[in-house]
Amino acid sequence: MRLLIIGPMSGQIGAASKIAVARGAQVTQSDTIETGLDALRGGRGADLIMVDVSLDVGLLVVSLKNERINVPVIGCGIANDAETAVRAIKAGAQEYIPLPPNEQLISAVFEAVSEESHRIVHGDPAMARALKLAEQVAGSIASILVVGDSGTGKELMARFIHQRSPRRNAPFIAVNCAAIPENLLESELFGYEKGAFTGAVARRIGKFEEATGGTLLLDEISEMDLKLQSKLLRAIQEKEIDRIGGKRPIPVDVRIVATSNRNMEDEVAARRFREDLYYRLNVVMIEVPKLAHRPGDIEPLSRHFVEKFAEANDMGTIALAPESLQLLKSYAWPGNVRELENTIHRGVLLSTDGVIRPDAIRLQGQRNGSASDGSALGTPAALVGRALADVERDLIIDTLGHTFGNRTHAATILGISIRTLRNKLKQYNDEGFSVPVPGDGGSRANA
């Protein structure tokens, strides 16, 4: 894991750095927000930023957003400065770590973004075959196309390939082609020079250069605009890129892994994807099966997620009742592994006496969720005639109640960003609705 620490190392944050190094992190340090941003712009990437909250955390978060540098930010400050901690979270820090550093707490934060969290848990022969093929071709220089439905674990497969390649000690850089507007994706991939366009206040190294020597994942590449596809093809063929506003080509050395949840041959036939680029990427195709097509994975994945979320929520040992496991095995999982993970997270939070029973397993279409009026929230009959916004509000507030007001856990269960959740809660407060208060045992009060 690559950790960027922003703040003077002379204080307690230096002790946090030593813990990080002991945990195998590659640590770099900048004294100020601007020098930290310069390091990121220059291609010294990071998987996590720890920033001293005495600095302007809001400026850092806004700058990262404006420059589309997607790195989680953790605020660090003295333990008894609650006001500063709240200010850091409101400014956009995802978590707050009190100083002097607690070794277990820092280790837990690092674990959340470490390679261990990218481990592929499986037990079904279909997944074993896909992994065997991936391992067989990982050591080659060939581009690889990973296909499969959303939520099956395509990015995990890409990371698996990288970790078993000769490039494992070099960067693994992921770009979500579906999440970045097409007019910005070019600069994200190839970078730009200062003054290349309005808002280009400094040179920015693109993902191709940042990934040099390592692996570049082009996630959901089928969403890429045709014009940019031609520039991507040239970059792959010539092994060089042109920064926007640059005067000369820049050589790059990257191994390309691309993913798609679409049928790529259909995309080519419909002229939405260049045929020559498709064949350039598809030297080897690896298909990640739907969870419904690998039923042997359900039990090991479920037990893995139970352990993961029980530990994350400091709930001790949680057991999965046999009848609950049978319920999980009998479900079709249209949302694949991502849906199973969210279901188990809910189950852990709703467990009683250390056991996840069937009433804690909330699945689509089941009559085991209750709306505020006492009707079954998850059933179509109960939803008919209700406004979508009202249903969404009840779901968000009820989920927040089950997490005892913990915004981060609620956002994870709901599958939305913490920022989106906070915006929704502010709206509900402004409209006069009661929202569970953090740490208040799920009771509701106007926040």
Detail the DSSP E strand segments found in 70-164: 73-78, 95-99, 144-147
Q: Is the pLDDT of residue 174 over 90?
A: yes
Least confident residue range of 59-73, 81-95, 269-283, 347-361: 81-95
Rounded to a whole number of angstroms, the CA Rg of the chain reads: 23
Indicate whether 143 pLDDT > 90. Answer: yes
Domain ranges of the chain: 2-110, 125-289, 294-445
Give the pLDDT confidence score for residue 370 in this predicted structure. Answer: 39
The candidate with the shortest Cα–Cα distance to 366, out of 347, 389, 338, is 347
Give the pairing type, strands 48-52 and 2-6. parallel
- How large a percentage of the chain has pLDDT more than 90? 51
Q: Report the alpha-carbon distance of residue 47 to residue 38 in Å, rounded.
A: 16
Q: In this predicted structure, what is the pLDDT of residue 121?
A: 94
Pairing of strands 2-6, 26-30: parallel
Read off the pLDDT of each residue in 153-165 and give the average, rounded to a whole number.
95
Q: Count Cα atoms within 13 angstroms, Cβ side, for 232.
A: 30
Instruction: Map residue 35 onto helix, strand or coil.
Output: helix
* Whether residue 135 has pLDDT greater than 90: yes
- What is residue 182's predicted lDDT score, i.e. its pLDDT? 81
CA distances to 110, 113, 364 from 22, rounded to whole Å, are 11, 16, 44
Average pLDDT over residues 161-185: 90
Query: Residue 444 is inside which H or E element, if any?
Result: strand 444-445
The letter for the amino acid at 89 is I
Instruction: Output the pLDDT for position 80.
Output: 66
- Quickly name the fold that domain 294-445 has: Helicase, Ruva Protein; domain 3 (1.10.8)
Res. 374 pLDDT band, cuts 50 70 90 = very low
CATH architecture of 125-289: 3-Layer(aba) Sandwich (3.40)
105-121 average pLDDT score = 69
Q: Once rounded to an integer, what is the mean pLDDT over residues 170-180?
A: 90
The H or E element spanning position 255 is strand 255-260
Question: What is the pLDDT averaged over residues 263-278?
Answer: 96
Looking at residue 404, its pLDDT comes to: 65
Residue 400: the pLDDT is 80
**For residue 100, cis peptide bond before it (omega within 30 degrees of 0):** yes
CA dist 357 and 362 (Å) reads 11
In this predicted structure, the answer to whether residue 329 has a pLDDT above a threshold of 70 is yes
Report pLDDT for 386.
63
Residue 2: which H helix or E strand, with range?
strand 2-6
Q: CATH classification of 2-110 is 3.40.1350.10, yes or no?
A: no
294-445 shares the fold of 2-110: no
Confidence of residue 363 (pLDDT cuts 50, 70, 90): confident
What's the gap between Cα 110 and its chain centre? Answer: 14
Residue showing tokens 């941003």: 37
Q: pLDDT tens for residues 212-238?
A: 999 999 999 999 999 999 999 999 999
- Residue 12's pLDDT band, with cuts at 50, 70 and 90, is confident
CA 83, chain centre distance (Å): 28
- Tell me the C-alpha distance between 4 and 270, whole Å: 44
Is pLDDT at 375 greater than 90 in this prediction? no
Match 């915006």 to its residue by tokens.
423
pLDDT of residue 274: 97
| Three-state helix/strand/coil letters over 272-313 | CCCHHHHHHHCCEEEECCCHHHCHHHHHHHHHHHHHHHHHHC
Asked if residues 257 and 144 have their Cβ atoms less than 8 Å apart, the reply is: yes
Rounded to 10 deg, the angle between the 407-414 and 418-430 helix axes is 110
Question: In whole angstroms, what is the distance from residue 335 CA to residue 428 CA?
Answer: 28
The pLDDT score that the predictor gives to residue 305 is: 94
Lowest-pLDDT choice from 95-109, 159-173, 177-191, 308-322: 95-109
